[in-house]
Amino acid sequence: MGQELPITSYALLGLLTFGDELTGYELKRRADATLRFYWVSPAMSQVYSELARLTELGLVARVGEDPGAGRGARYGITETGRKELRTWMSTTPAGFAVLKHPVALRLLLGHVVDPATTKGMLRDHLVALDEERAALDEVRKSLEGADGPGEAFRYPSLVADWGLDYFANERRMIEELLRRLEEQT
């Protein structure tokens, strides 16, 4: 199978490996709470279309309805799904991250507006960084106690730590860019 699936499929398979079965809605919520910090969180419609594809391929299975919650079928990863995820993790290169950053794009084009507009955009980004860092810090705190070696949330906690450092470094860089822009005006 391997390369036939989009990365989003593997991301959703991975989110189903933490020992619980989830509805599509719950899977979307888990994606929003985790993936959004370092990957793209899929739209609700994409979650359901990927669940349909993964079910058809035998990588996830419907494990029952949840009529009390009114949210339909619950899904769990199958052993075939675990094997496919392990194969993907073991045999495909991770690739190199591409900086697709709306603030960097706007800074690149800063010459088409007045300097105050560009500096305001960077200051707004600092506020957004602080908000996202606080949200990720809450996620990180929620993993405490299950984040030791061999525990279920060891690797998610490492990614959360990476994200927290990333946000701190980005804050430092934006502050430096603002300082340099101030020198020029």
pTM above 0.85, yes or no: no
Which two tokens mark 52? 């349909």
Lowest mean pLDDT of 84-98, 113-127, 156-170, name the range. Answer: 84-98
Q: What is the DSSP string of 100-152?
A: --HHHHHHHTGGGS-HHHHHHHHHHHHHHHHHHHHHHHHHHHHHTTS-STTST
Give pLDDT tens digits for 49-67.
999 999 999 999 998 765 5
Give pLDDT tens digits for 66-94.
555 445 799 999 999 999 999 999 999 99
Cα separation, 54 vs 50, whole angstroms: 6
Residue, of 40 and 51, whose pLDDT is higher: 51
Which two tokens mark 143? 């993993």
Mean pLDDT for the stretch of residues 151-169: 96
